[in-house]
Structures are given as structure tokens and as C-alpha cells.
Amino acid sequence: METLAGMEGYEVYERSRRRAGSVELALVRGSGGKYLYLSRALPGFEGEALSDGGLLCPLTYGNAKALVEIVPEFKPRRLPEGPSFGFGDRIGMATPGHIRAVRDTHVFPVLAQQSVRENARTGRTFAEVLADAVFGALQEGYVGGFAADADHLKTIEDALEAAELGYTLFTCDPSDHVVPAEELSEKELRRRFDALPQRKELEREYFGKTFEIKGLGRLWFSELDLMRAAVKYLRAVEFAAEMYRALAEKLPRGFDFEVSVDETETPTSPLEHFFVVQELRRREVEIASIAPRFSGSLEKAVDYRGDLEVFRRDLRAHVAIARALGGYRISLHSGSDKFSLYPVFAKEADGLFHVKTAGTSYLVALEVIAKRVPDLFREIYKFSLARFPEDRATYHLTTDESALPSPDALSAGELPQLLAEPNLRQVLHVAYGSVLRGPLGEELRKVLFEFEGDYAAALEAHLGRHLELLGVRE
């Protein structure tokens, strides 16, 4: 990087140099961090006035908002047709590496992607996540477009907050409203079904009818099938429709809407998928994607554990229904590091897919730490072990803690190889919030800032492997 004229002690990211009208701008790096440089002050921007008449701006949401007004290429967009890929960034420093991974592909990136749960754990906000993505795109000079996903939304208030900030994709998580109908006796199931105000309407709509799905065959609901689907999902559908209507009122020019039904104990059957989407359509909800619960285990930070042929069969059914009911994407959540699945997913979905990753970029950061500052990695490992019993509570994991090596028994040279060990990856993954909110998180960010080139290169290689196996390289 070169030194910016008239600004001793700062270096400019060359790819970020741009002109907006009569103003030159760039992202710069100094000993205290990164800043947005403007050759002269403009309305909407806040920062330190410079002797040459320029402005040095902190990388805040307010300055990101002002930036997209003068350089609209950095404003989040809606998803175009074709495959898409979500790059979650729990630290706020991964976007340059994500962009390098996605170059020369035909997949559309979601560069701002975080859930309310993740933000609560890291202490970040939707505004900060979006600002980090905007400035990361500026740093790389990336103008190919990206989306912003407010992920796993469980309240309408959170959805509207993200809409106000400029998010374009909203992932509704109605899992709190899903009833575990498989656990109910037939008598209790019938009682609950009979109590539904829509019971007669549902019987007219589904019972005794056959639905022809190209590539799948005929779907039909037995009385038990209909009762189970309605009791299990109807309230979840109504909640999703409520969120959709609130967003439609807030964003009359349009938005993308995903419905996630993956956080359930049992796989989503083709009949259940059909029922959920049909009921959403009857409520005039237009979806961009749906995230079903697949068979097998899609645990965090490790590869798929299950029968690939069963996964292939189920995926074919979901894709056939998606094509028949509007051509929305099938979304794969917990998509990080599911390397054995990607070729199957890419082939069967044939471009009609969305993949979400998040935790893997944090683990790549720890690889950099392990190589560059082994003692810090060792401390993060010890701290994560101590936090694991509590932090794992909201995750489905099968971690074998007895297989974990002692952090003190390993040499500095052995530490980077630990990141290939599935049990350790899960321990490190789930403790991210506890690490990032404390002193270790501050040290981690300092190291990544010092070795940001290493981090970007490692992300490019690791996420590039994901995209290679998904078949989206040009």
C-alpha cells in the first residue's frame, strides 16, 4: 500500500481509490485502525478535518450510509436469479477475504449476514454488521453487488429494525411457533386439529386431493398427514405471514424473504414443505428461499454426518416442489464446511440454492492466530474449553470432549493442525461470543489487523474451496 499524499502515517488501500463527482475517496490504514478518507468534507459524513481540507472518517454505520448515497454500487441489493452464498462475519474483519473468494464465480454474495442471536453473543448490531460489509467492499474495490441478510429473525420488531437500516434479505425463523406434532398421540393431534378455526377450509384445500409435482410425482394428504402438518406448522406460517406483511408495508419497493424451518427435531417431509409453502402462498407471501430440515446431521463447524443418498433423495423432492411452486431457492443452513454435501447439493439443486456460512470465518481467524501468535491461540483454546458447557446450550452437537488434547501438551508448531480436529472445531466455534466480547477478543482483533493479508488469503482459500465444490467457478 502507498502512503496517501499529505497524510504521513497512513497507507491507502489501492483498490479502494474512487472518485465520486469532484471528491476523491479511499480507505486508509493507520496505527489506530482503518478510516475513510475524503478529499473534502461532504454533508452526511462525520470525521476529523484535515489540514488539506479533507476529512478522515471512522468506519461507522452513519458514514457507511453516507457513502452508499454517493457511491450506490456499495448499497445492498436484492438477490438476482441463480445461486447465492451467505458469508457471515462474526468479527467484522472478514469481508475482504470473502470478496476475494467470490471473485470469478457466478454466485451472488450476501456479505452482511448475521442473526440476532449472533449479535447478542458478539455485542455487535445490525448496523455495525452492515457497515463492516460496506467498507470491506470499498477496501477491495468490489462493485459487483451484494445482499444483506438479517438472519434467523424471531420478532417483527427486529425485522423492521433491519429494514430501516437497509437490509434486503430477511430470514424468518418461526421455530418458536412450530409444534412437535410427532410427539402427540393421534387423539391429541385430532383434538388440536379440530380446534383450529381453519379446519374446514384446510380439509377442503387438501383432503382427498392429489397434487402433481413434476419430477416427484403425486402428493396427497391422508387425514393423519393433514392433521400433523396443520398442527405442526400453521401457527408458524401465520407468524411468517405477519412478518412479511410488516416488511411489505415498510419496504413497498420489495425485498427478499426466506422462511427457515430447519431448526426442528425431525426432517421436513415433502408433504410438510408443500403444506408450508402453499399456506404462505394463500396468504400472498412471496418467498425467495426456504430452509428445510434435512435428514442426517448438519452440526456446526464439521462436515455432514449422514447418508448422502438419503440426503440426495430428500433434496430432489424439495427442489421439485420449489420449482413447482414458484422457483424459490433451497437454503442450506449451517453450510460451513459441509464439503461432502456440496457436489450433491450443486448437482441436484441445479443453481436453485442458497448456502449460509458464518462460524467457519471465525475458525479461519483462529488458524491465523495459531500460526502467528501461538500463545494467544492457546489462551483462546483454554478459555473456550471453560466456556463450552454453557455456550453449547443452544446448539445440537455430538462433541466428544474426552478426545480433546490438552492445550499445554502441544508445541506451538502443532497448534495450527488442531483446527482440522472436528471436536476442537466445535468447542472453538460455540465459544466465539464469549471470546469476542472479552479481552481475548481485543487481542484477536489486533493480531488480525496486523496480519490482515494472511487472514484475507486464508479466507479466500477456505471459502474458495466451498465455492469450488459447489461448482460456481467461472
Give me the active site residues, please.
151, 258
What would the grid cell of residue 254 be? 420489495
The span from the CA of 30 to the CA of 302, in Å, is 37
Pair 303, 261: CB distance under 8 Å: no
What would the grid cell of residue 315 be? 433434496
Beta-bridge partner residues of 213: 217
- Where are the alpha helices (H) located in 268-409, listed in sequence order? 270-282, 308-324, 342-349, 359-372, 374-391
If we measure between CA atoms, which residue out of 337, 181, 336, 207 comes closest to residue 261?
Answer: 181
The span from the CA of 225 to the CA of 229, in Å, is 6
Pair 281, 321: CB distance under 8 Å: no
The span from the CA of 273 to the CA of 317, in Å, is 9
Contacts with 442 (C-beta within 8 Å, 6 or more apart), sequence order:
none
Pair 247, 241: CB distance under 8 Å: no
Angle at 187 between CA 233 and CA 237, to 5 degrees: 10
For 446-462, letters b (16+ CB in 10 Å) and e give ebbeebbebbbbbbbeb
